[in-house]
Chains A and B, each alone.
Chain A
């Protein structure tokens, strides 16, 4: 007997919130602890923070195969790290988050590191210039209101290098804070300058990079006209997996007229009901709350090689997203697929296999109208045979 193993692919990997997570801060400039005191204050409210010098040998990212930290903050310098890029990437690929505070004169090491996330930094020594949106006429301190994904109401100040999304824009790489239309940088006149970029891995680990680490300094954070304080808060929340975290659970599919959940198989042309609960993490209440998507964009696909259905799920009660539909007139191994890749949110990739079988031999309709000639002729033949037999016997 074929047993059906139910496979739910990648519901939630990373960022399951837990209060006392360990953050490692790496920098070789002790001055940042003074200049960024606000930032570190914010950080230590939620996390246990470890400060290490980039050059020092006194820390281990990994000890006996166990990662020692949950998140990593890098203040980029002109020096290289003792840790190899691959190890940092492994750290990230294991589902942990990294925040890179870049600077325009950072070493090749950091550039390469940035590149492996699909982001790139502008030329050495370059700095973003904006003659229209700046603070007090200083065109090197630029402001922008173009903030995506994060919730910042006031304009954000930026000073230093810009980031660029490397040639191929993907669903994973975002510009969290983008320069205004009038910003440019060195020889690069593209209007697509990113001040704060981010990457979310397929394992939902998050990576945030800023073009310069000055923007998180006390100087800007204390300025109540600017949104840099909120931005810092949001970067920590989003980057370290506190906000925009989704999880999907309680996947149910059944025949519309039956309570038998996840049946062994379906017959073609049956009515089927599908529902799934999607929750979002609320970092304020510290609990999962139903996720409400206003855009009706949670889409269910019913796939066998190609999608036979591609329909948005309807919002039901609580966290429930549901839909009932008629299974197509095709048999095969189908999959309920949800591929929810909303920018900024946890990727939800759900696939559930079911078998759609053809009719059983006794499930076809009986006594069809169009078959009456057949019934009539067969019984007619039988009757005729009897009549013939009697006539034949009596005639002898």
Chain B
């Protein structure tokens, strides 16, 4: 009996020992598999659709990358793009974060030097999946720096690799800044924590370099430049500051700020923008305290007190004066997006253009759960662990998570910043729980190795716990798999639907229309559309647009909004002034495609009305609600957007059992039927009517007059005539238009 037990024990001992021996190999293999998985789970979009650039912003990044590869980095730096924001143009070199483009340009050049003739499009498409692999490696490193445990690191790496929130921005084809900058973010944190742990200047330099890459690739770098000072301040206040922290922060701050200034888009903002103020203040504070404690060695106690008083007063006074002067002089100010973060209602009140973007909305619980899934349940465990026995790095992890939760609640898109934090916390938490459970099981099987302690979880409960944890983890994996293969795989410029037999139908209206524009319009024709489609039109049709997704000029966007919201006559005047040749509208009334321009129209009205007050939102509400049917107001039905969207719509039957002209999105029959357009003519309508393109007609050759009814036989006095072209009204509008323009 005892010998049998001994042999069994020795067998398990052997297993245990050899497992420990091979642990590093397992470790590396698992990490590698995670990296590969993170890559593979993101290429569903290519398999289901094709290797194509997704959505809106990626089209600009793609176009810029093409330009970079063709013309070189200096040309990109000086690129003045006259094809967008007509006629203002956009100085691209100075208004772009070039990190993404430079990265893919680099990969392209290296591969071509190695005689691998890869297309730049494929580099762009697959860049984000490749960087997600790096992200999972960086998350492993960061978790290891926090907990010093590789099993927690592995779990975190797995969670980061497949967290749906991150996947939504980094599937193949989603060629956006976030694709590379989440890696840069996690990697910067990793190197910073390494510096905190080691106190090495070299690692501090690495931190600064990683931060530089982050600054080069995403405006979200402001998160880093704020969270690290907050972290340092927290340590200072709690009295946990030490030499290592000082080294880490000083090296990071000095080099990081200097490097950030090298990016043209950031430039001197790194000194005077409000986003950077915290870093300056903490730098001054930490060095002042250091200096102060050094001085204390030389001065008597009495002198110290007066000195302290003097210095505190001086410091407070100078900071106050400095802030007041800077604010009064307008040298420092918060950007609209940052203010929205501090006060979530700010954008809604003052900047409709920020509020109009769906990804700037406050996050709902459903998207929280969909994007993070069980991680939000497990990350509190990790948080608890971090506060339970705090070290500097654990405090950092916890701070990152807490701040991330706040920001993610304010804006949907910032879930992305939270995702790595939550994954790491969940990894830490689950591995901790695993460890507790495993310990109790191990002490049951191998009592000699694992000495039983006073209090330990009973092995039965441990086993149940292990099974449950495993179950939740696998549910998470399944959910992530679903998100990667279905929810986030759609390129959004190609839509797909399923019919009753379950066959997939590809709806390719966007590309059809953009290709039509490319082939059938003159090379310098100007296309007016709502700004959402600007990047796609320049990218795919190679035509000039008035406004695009780089919403840098609110007035210009408001002018386009005004044109869309005005009557056809007035819109014609605006279009002529802006040299518009074609107007492009997105219409989903046939296909029940809800993301169309009629649904966005209220934002156009709001943004237009923000600059041109004669456009009033309430004029577009019929019977108190926004509607397109017979109760829609005259202003609404006369607006260019309405006229263009529903032009000849009453001739088609859209739904069974409904009259002609039934809008499937608004679920109403349109209010105005059988009208003709006077100043615009239909140039193109895509297969499912999603994209409709109208050409602006030339001004009429003559300005004739038509008389009312029977008066034609008599010479009539002017009062009873109706001019065909409304001169009086036109003059009015023109005046108003130019006046506002000058403001």
Whether A and B are associated in the same complex: the answer reads yes
Task: Using CB atoms and an 8 Å cutoff, list the residues of chain A in contact with chain B.
Answer: 1-5, 7, 89, 92-93, 108, 111-112, 115-118, 120-124, 126, 164, 166-168, 170, 172-173, 186, 188, 199, 201-203, 205, 265, 304-306, 331-335, 353, 355, 357-358, 360-361
Interfacial residues, chain B to chain A (CB-CB below 8 A):
70-71, 74, 77-78, 80, 82-83, 86-89, 91, 93-94, 264, 522-524, 577-578, 698-707, 712-716, 718, 721, 723, 727-728, 738, 741-742
Pick from B93, B701, B728: contact of A203, CB under 8 Å: B701
Q: Which 6 A-B pairs have the closest CB atoms?
A: A167-B718, A116-B704, A357-B80, A333-B87, A201-B701, A123-B715
When the two chains form their complex, are residues A306 and B741 in contact, meaning their CB atoms are under 8 A apart? Answer: yes
- A355 and B712 contacting across the interface, CB-CB below 8 Å: no
Check A202–B714 contact: CB distance below 8 A. Answer: no
State the CA gap A324–B732 with chains docked (Å): 35
Max chain A CB contacts within 10 Å: which of B89, B699, B706?
A: B89
Chain A residues with CB under 8 Å of B87's CB are 304-305, 332-335
Residues of chain B contacted by A1 (CB below 8 angstroms):
70-71
Instruction: Name 15 extra pairs, CB < 8 A, besides A333-B87, A358-B94.
Output: A3-B523, A4-B524, A7-B524, A116-B702, A116-B704, A167-B723, A168-B727, A173-B703, A202-B702, A203-B701, A304-B88, A305-B88, A331-B91, A335-B87, A357-B89
- Residue pairs across A and B with Cβ atoms less than 8 A apart, 20 shown, are A1-B71, A5-B522, A115-B706, A118-B705, A120-B705, A126-B715, A166-B718, A167-B723, A168-B723, A170-B703, A172-B702, A188-B715, A202-B698, A202-B699, A331-B89, A334-B87, A357-B80, A361-B77, A361-B78, A361-B93
The answer for the CA separation of A122 and B86 in the assembled complex, in Å, is 49
Instruction: Give the docked Cα–Cα distance between A3 and B723 (Å).
Output: 42
State the Cβ distance, B68 to closest chain A Cβ, in Å. 13
Which residue among B70, B89, B701 has the maximum number of chain A CB atoms within 10 Å of its CB?
Answer: B701
- Is A118 within 8 A of B703, CB to CB? yes
Q: Could you tell me the distance in whole angstroms from the C-beta of B541 to the nearest C-beta in chain A? A: 14
Q: How many A-B residue pairs have CB under 8 A?
A: 120
**Which of B71, B82, B713, B742 counts the most chain A CB atoms within 10 A?**
B82
Chain A residue numbers with a CB within 8 Å of B723 are 166-168
Could you tell me if A5 and B89 are in contact, using CB atoms closer than 8 angstroms? no
Complex: A358 Cα to B91 Cα, angstroms: 8
| B86 x A333 contact (CB < 8 A) | yes
Q: Measured between alpha carbons, how far is A186 from B716 in the docked complex, in Å?
A: 12
Which residues from B are CB-within-8-Å of A305?
87-88, 577-578, 741
CA A193 to CA B458, docked complex, whole Å: 112
Known pairs A306-B741, A333-B89; A115 contacts B701 (CB<8 A): no
Q: Report yes or no: B701 in contact with A112, Cβ–Cβ below 8 A.
A: no
B147 shortest CB reach to chain A, Å: 39
A362 to B699, CA, bound (A): 45
Q: Let me know if A121 and B715 touch, CB within 8 A.
A: yes
**Cα A7 to Cα B581 with chains together (Å):** 13
CB <8 Å contact, B741 and A355: no
Chain A residues with Cβ below 8 Å from B727 are 168, 170
Closest to B731 in A: A168
A108 to B715, CA, bound (A): 11
CB nearest neighbor in A for B78? A360
- Assuming the contacts A168-B703, A305-B741, A360-B78, asked whether A124 and B714 have C-beta atoms less than 8 A apart, the reply is yes
State how many angstroms separate the Cβ of A205 from the closest Cβ of chain B: 7
Could you tell me the distance between the alpha carbons of A89 and B715 in the complex, rounded to whole angstroms? 22
List, in ascending order, chain B residues with CB within 8 A of A361's CB: 74, 77-78, 93, 264
Across-interface contacts of A166 in B (CB, < 8 A): 705, 718, 721, 723
Closest chain B residue to A205 by CB distance?
B701
Indicate if the CB atoms of B712 and A167 lie closer than 8 Å: no
Q: Are B82 and A333 in contact (CB under 8 A)?
A: yes
Q: How many angstroms between the C-alpha atoms of A306 and B738 in the bound complex?
A: 8
CB distance from B246 to the nearest CB of A (A): 19
Residue of B nearest to A163 (CB): B715
Inter-chain contacts of B83 with A (CB < 8 A): 2
The reply to whether A306 and B715 form a contact with Cβ atoms under 8 Å apart is no
Whole-angstrom CA separation of A93 from B703 in the bound complex: 12
Determine the chain A residues whose CB is within 8 A of the CB of B713 once the complex forms: 108, 111, 124
Residues of A within 8 A of B523 (CB): 3, 5
- Chain A residues with CB under 8 Å of B728's CB are 168
Q: Which residues of A contact B715 (CB under 8 A)?
A: 120-123, 126, 164, 186, 188
In the bound complex, residues from chain B placing their C-beta under 8 Å from that of A173 are 703
Residues of B within 8 A of A331 (CB): 80, 89, 91
Nearest neighbor of B88 in chain A, beta-carbon distance: A332
